[in-house]
Amino acid sequence: MTQTLLLVVLFVGAIATLPWLVRRLQQRSAAGSAGTGGASRVLSAVAVGPQQRVVTVEVGPEHARTWLVLGVTTQQVSCLHVLPASASAGAPAATAMAPSFAQEMAAAANVPGTPSHG
């Protein structure tokens, strides 16, 4: 009886430590691949539906990075557009200089000669 109880306790202990061991191995393998410089990173993700997203990912080696715009659903991933990262590096700065929607609306509301609603 004691021998059977000991085997059951060891079995339950092994099952309980299995998720921790798997997590530890995944972290170790992820740390090893991140040092190669070929790691990808998600730049942005926008939900366009309940289970659809448009995701921008930066991939490739350090000297030739590429941005991929991907359409992601539950069934598939589709490449919508490809940009070299060097050409798109200036894109965030250009959009930062563009007037916001609120500024555009304020400018449109202050145009002389337009009727005011209210």
- Residue 81: give its domain's CATH number: 3.10.450
Q: Which domain holds residue 83?
A: 38-110
Place of tokens 């009886």: 1
* pTM listed for this prediction: 0.45
Mean pLDDT of the chain: 79
Other CB atoms within a 10 A radius of the CB of residue 68 amount to: 18
Task: Answer yes or no: do 62 and 31 share one domain.
Answer: no
Task: Answer yes or no: do 2 and 26 share one domain.
Answer: yes
Task: Answer yes or no: do 71 and 94 share one domain.
Answer: yes
Tell whether the model's pLDDT for residue 110 goes beyond 90: no
Question: Cα 113 from chain centroid?
Answer: 47
- DSSP annotation of 64 reads G
- Per-residue pLDDT band at 93 (split at 50, 70, 90): very low
Q: Which pLDDT value is given to residue 38?
A: 59
**Per-residue pLDDT reduced to its tens digit, 16-62:** 999 999 988 888 877 665 555 557 888 889 999 899 999 999 888 87
Task: Answer yes or no: do 46 and 69 share one domain.
Answer: yes
CA 65 to each of CA 8, 58, 77, 80, 89: distance values in angstroms, whole numbers, following the listed order: 53, 7, 20, 17, 11
Task: Tell me the mean pLDDT in the region 50-75.
Answer: 89
Strand bridging mode 41-47 / 77-84: unpaired
